[in-house]
Amino acid sequence: MPLPYLQDLRHCAGHDLDGPLAHTRPALQRLKAAKGKGEYAFLDQPDRTDDLAAIEAAAARLRKFGAIVLLGTGGSSLGARTLAALVDGGAGFWPKGTPRLVVAENVDPFGFGKMLDTLDPADTGLLAVSKSGGTGETLAQMHAILPWLEKAGPLSARACAITEPTDNALSRLAGRHAIPILEHPPTLGGRYSVLSIVGLLPAAILGLDIRALRAGAAMARDAALDDPATSLPAHGAALAAALVHKGKRTTVLCPYVDALAPFGQWFAQLWAESLGKGGEGTTPIRALGTVDQHSQLQLWLDGPADKLITIVARDSRDAGPRFAADMLADGALDWLAGRTMGDLLDVSWRATAETLARHGRPVRILTIRTLDETTLGALLMHFMLETVIAADLFGVEPYHQPAVEDGKKLARAYMKGMGAKADNG
Amino acid sequence: MPLPYLQDLRHCAGHDLDGPLAHTRPALQRLKAAKGKGEYAFLDQPDRTDDLAAIEAAAARLRKFGAIVLLGTGGSSLGARTLAALVDGGAGFWPKGTPRLVVAENVDPFGFGKMLDTLDPADTGLLAVSKSGGTGETLAQMHAILPWLEKAGPLSARACAITEPTDNALSRLAGRHAIPILEHPPTLGGRYSVLSIVGLLPAAILGLDIRALRAGAAMARDAALDDPATSLPAHGAALAAALVHKGKRTTVLCPYVDALAPFGQWFAQLWAESLGKGGEGTTPIRALGTVDQHSQLQLWLDGPADKLITIVARDSRDAGPRFAADMLADGALDWLAGRTMGDLLDVSWRATAETLARHGRPVRILTIRTLDETTLGALLMHFMLETVIAADLFGVEPYHQPAVEDGKKLARAYMKGMGAKADNG
């Protein structure tokens, strides 16, 4: 079966990839040797079947609610958002009969209050996700939502927690409320967890084919580890390294697929947290075509020449409504006559790529035939592999995020310094 | 009346602002001299009252629908999104009894189809916005949606178009369907149009106080034009210029207010399109606290030292649910006991700012007491002024976007090159 995506580096020909590409070989060899051994947990998620029954049982229990509130942040939320976009198109267009996923990542009390105001506790299920079980935001949200949700009935029937199998604040809280706890794989970092229960339980609740997500990821992985010459993620990592040598330190991900907008958020975390260390890394920029042609494109074309632009495009020719010549009845629109909305999208990304190339801006194009679970699984694995291979080229450790711990400690210290409250109610 | 926002540059003290600040004087003088003369249309929108009756009449007509579809892209959509977030919290939490605003910016036929599938034409109003009247995306969307919407009744009662008063494709199309046309101010560029009918009609449909939006903007403007020493936008522009001299070419806007997430999108277009010219400009990065503490913060702290981080925070102390010590019942959460969700948000942004500063990263903090129309109007004007003042320092023309025209021409050429379609139906 052919890979469900292609990578086109034609517009990057001016940048010498051969050197960095050769340097990806040790990383590929290490990844290939580690496969199946649990050493890099993200690599082995696609082959798992041991967790499917638990995922599907929990999904069946939660699927009956009209809304599912997901409490979690960063790696605990962005994968679910990305997968859910297969259902809501990334824009909140939930089909009738499907639960809608409402993701609460922040602790803005005004935003959180607005969320609860629009939900009916009797028709709401809850999923709380924190690997460590100690994420302040998620615990605070839990304490805010549980009294509201409990009014509608026992939490055991309408809630679920995902955390690593340790005695932690989330597992203790869940235990006290008889909320079932599912296991976050303990060696799997949040930003690499989308193909574990962390992403797949929300996906299964929404009715997605979680086996196909994993199968697509396995396909992308298995095609990527043999040889730099044929490895698409190795080419992507080599491109990032080659461009850094030329001072290009920002990387734009611009899908021309509405449903891939959250994918850009997921990628931004993956890339930023994995590579942004010791002065290394490049800065991810989220974008979406065609709207960013009317927003950021001017800067990409004629601002600082410091960017790689990656376009992700789906074959959309002939798709969507066709513009009849007599309906247009307007000279200004002759160029649309007989074409479809999908044709317009198609020429838009092609023209943008070509224009960027003519301005000397490096453009990579990933194309997909369709957007389904298999394709999305493959894209997710592609970018996880590209990230860890790039980490090897940059000489950084991709699985930790040491700098952010300072801020967490400081927040707790600040809280202790706040004036004591008399009223704990 | 005091300004509804403050700017804190304490963590930028290491960067010499005095030089660039002195250079903002000519721009301030030019803006002040132009005020009221129509020379810079964005500057005079806050004082307009001549358009209020038309805006309010159109709003009253469209407000009766449960959903309003806004067709428009870039400057025609991002301002409306930003204002609408005062109602839906930026996350689709529409209160009962208010129309919800559905913004269609792209021509992804799959996304557009999903949107129509979730809407009821009988309960949908339409607003189409294109300054030139020739925006391909918006025209294509119009042709796709009109047959669907017309099934529910005459378009004259349920649709409205905003375009400049010329004979253009949108105005001709609207004319043929008896759709009322309102005037896009002809000298006002899209990315500066949020305080004109382009932003205010959607805002008025959603029940926002459009006079307060303008009053807040007027207040921010009038406080900004006298003297660099007291002008907050001049300080912001000087900071951008000072940092560019040190090679810091990315600028992060990170609100810790859910409802300001779309504001970040609006700012990104404003800054990128206005300044990204001739190799100049800096690259805007969208972010949102606290989720991006779990996503991009590692990169900001320890990746390339090329960023300014602007935090926008609302006073949230004591707001939201309070965590009772007995409910927590857990040693790991002692630090939350007696505190509120708003307290947690407050210490989060303060700790993040301090940690960034300790890592030598420049941080600017804008604080607001509350988020309402007055405050948002002031913030919008602040950043429009900061942008045009920065353009003066960078030596670029902020009101045009010449490079993107190449792509538009190429798209039309590509369309002509596509195989001819036999079937125009």
Could you report the per-residue pLDDT of A127-139, keeping only the tens digit for each? 999 999 999 999 9
Catalytic site residues of B?
273, 294, 408
Contact of B415 with A339, CB cutoff 8 Å: yes
Torsion angle of C-alpha atoms B55, B34, B367, B355, degrees rounded to 10: 130
Distance CA B58, CA B7 (A): 37
Measured between beta carbons, which residues in chain B are less than 8 angstroms from residue A283? 250, 283, 285, 299, 303-304, 306-307
Return the CATH number of A41-210, one of 3.40.50.2300, 3.40.630.10, 3.60.150.10, 3.40.50.10490. 3.40.50.10490
The side-by-side arrangement of strands in the sheet containing B159-163 is B100-104, B67-71, B124-129, B159-163, B181-183
**Average pLDDT rounded to a whole number, residues A35-62:** 97
Tokens of B230: 């007291």
**Average pLDDT rounded to a whole number, residues B191-210:** 98
Phi and psi at B40, nearest 5°, equal -115, 100
User: Can you tell me which residue has the tokens 């309003």?
Assistant: B68
Measured between beta carbons, which residues in chain A are less than 8 angstroms from residue B391? none
pLDDT value at position B424? Answer: 35
Contact of A89 with A314, CB cutoff 8 Å: no
Distance CA B299, CA A272 (A): 5
Whether pLDDT at A419 is above 80: no
pLDDT value at position B364? Answer: 98
Contact of B377 with B3, CB cutoff 8 Å: no
- Model confidence at B421, pLDDT cuts 50, 70, 90, reads very low
| CB of B163 less than 8 A from some CB of A | no
Q: Which H or E run includes B254? A: strand B250-255
- Model confidence at B330, pLDDT cuts 50, 70, 90, reads low
Measured between beta carbons, which residues in chain A are less than 8 angstroms from residue B137? 290, 344
3-state secondary structure B342-380: HHHHHHHHHHHHHHHHHCCCCEEEEEECCCCHHHHHHHH
- Model confidence at B332, pLDDT cuts 50, 70, 90, reads low
Contact of B307 with A283, CB cutoff 8 Å: yes
| Higher pLDDT among residues B352 and B425, named by residue | B352
Pick from A215, A258, A211: which is nearest to A86 by CA?
A: A258
Identity (one letter) of the amino acid at A290? T
B77 exposed, middle or buried (CB, 10 Å; 0-12, 13-18, 19+)? buried
Angle between helices B169-176 and B136-150 (to 10 degrees): 10
Whether pLDDT at B388 is above 80: yes
* Alpha-carbon distances of A150 from A126, A178, A261, B191, B261, rounded to whole Å: 11, 11, 34, 46, 30
As beta bridge partners, residue B252 has: B285, B309
Distance CA A36, CA B228 (A): 63
**Average pLDDT rounded to a whole number, residues A32-38:** 95
Whether pLDDT at A329 is above 60: no
User: Angle CA(A348)–CA(A351)–CA(A354) in degrees, nearest 5?
Assistant: 150
Whether pLDDT at A420 is above 60: no
- Model confidence at B425, pLDDT cuts 50, 70, 90, reads very low
Query: For an interface test with B, which of A76, A107, A401 has the most B Cβ atoms less than 10 Å from its Cβ?
Result: A107
**Average pLDDT rounded to a whole number, residues A350-371:** 97
Could you give the count of Cα atoms lying within 13 Å of B372 in the half-sphere of its Cβ? Answer: 11
Tokens of A103: 């993701």
Other C-beta atoms lying within 10 Å of the C-beta of residue B102:
19
Q: Which fold has domain B5-31+225-394?
A: Rossmann fold (3.40.50)
Distance CA A122, CA A142 (A): 17
Nearest CA in chain A to B333: A169
The answer to whether B272 contacts A407, with C-beta atoms less than 8 Å apart, is no
B169: nearest CB among A73, A298, A330: A330
Pick from A273, A222, A230: which is nearest to A46 by CA?
A: A222
Contact of A410 with A136, CB cutoff 8 Å: no
Instruction: Tell whether omega for the bond before A230 is within 30 degrees of 0, i.e. cis.
Output: no
The mean pLDDT of chain A is: 94
Pick from A143, A151, A137: which is nearest to A174 by CA?
A: A143
pLDDT value at position A337? Answer: 85
pLDDT value at position B420? Answer: 44
CA-based nearest distance B37→chain A, Å: 28
Whether pLDDT at A269 is above 90: yes
Report percent pLDDT > 90 for chain A. 89
Whether pLDDT at B419 is above 60: no
Helix (H, G, I), strand (E, B) or coil at B225: coil
Other C-beta atoms lying within 10 Å of the C-beta of residue B187:
14
Distance CA A8, CA A370 (A): 17
- Model confidence at B422, pLDDT cuts 50, 70, 90, reads very low
With 0.90 as the threshold, say if the pTM is over it. yes
**What is the Rg, in whole angstroms, of the alpha carbon atoms belonging to chain B?**
23
The answer to whether B424 contacts A325, with C-beta atoms less than 8 Å apart, is yes
Query: For an interface test with A, which of B105, B107, B149, B314 has the most A Cβ atoms less than 10 Å from its Cβ?
Result: B107
User: Can you tell me which residue has the tokens 């809304």?
Assistant: A67
Whether pLDDT at A3 is above 50: yes
Measured between its terminal Cα atoms, the distance across chain A in Å is 60
Whether pLDDT at A346 is above 50: yes
Contact of A197 with A206, CB cutoff 8 Å: no
- Model confidence at A422, pLDDT cuts 50, 70, 90, reads very low
A395 exposed, middle or buried (CB, 10 Å; 0-12, 13-18, 19+)? exposed
- Model confidence at B334, pLDDT cuts 50, 70, 90, reads confident
Identity (one letter) of the amino acid at A281? G
Whether pLDDT at A425 is above 60: no
Q: Where in chain B is the domain with CATH 3.40.50.10490?
A: 5-31+225-394, 41-209
Q: Where in chain A is the domain with CATH 3.40.50.10490?
A: 5-31+225-394, 41-210
Which superfamily does CATH assign the domain made up of B41-209 to?
A: Glucose-6-phosphate isomerase like protein; domain 1 (3.40.50.10490)
Whether pLDDT at A60 is above 80: yes
**What is the Rg, in whole angstroms, of the alpha carbon atoms belonging to chain A?**
23
Which ipTM score applies to this complex?
Answer: 0.96
Whether pLDDT at B267 is above 90: yes
Distance of CA B169 to the CA centre of its chain: 26
| CB of A109 less than 8 A from some CB of B | yes
Identity (one letter) of the amino acid at A275? L
A63-77, A188-202, B374-388, B394-408: segment of lowest average pLDDT:
B394-408
Tokens of A390: 């790039």
Contact of B254 with B311, CB cutoff 8 Å: yes
pLDDT value at position B301? Answer: 97
As beta bridge partners, residue B368 has: B5, B314
Contact of B47 with B217, CB cutoff 8 Å: no
Whether pLDDT at B246 is above 80: yes
Distance of CA A11 to the CA centre of its chain: 26
Other C-beta atoms lying within 10 Å of the C-beta of residue B419:
6
* Alpha-carbon distances of B371 from A160, A212, B81, B99, rounded to whole Å: 34, 44, 15, 21
Residues 42-61 of chain A with CB under 8 A from chain B are: none
Whether pLDDT at A423 is above 50: no
Query: For an interface test with A, which of B298, B314, B333, B424 has the most A Cβ atoms less than 10 Å from its Cβ?
Result: B298
**Average pLDDT rounded to a whole number, residues B172-184:** 96
A30 exposed, middle or buried (CB, 10 Å; 0-12, 13-18, 19+)? middle
Contact of B159 with B127, CB cutoff 8 Å: yes
Identity (one letter) of the amino acid at B323? F
| CB of A93 less than 8 A from some CB of B | yes
Distance CA B404, CA B134 (A): 14
Whether pLDDT at B157 is above 80: yes
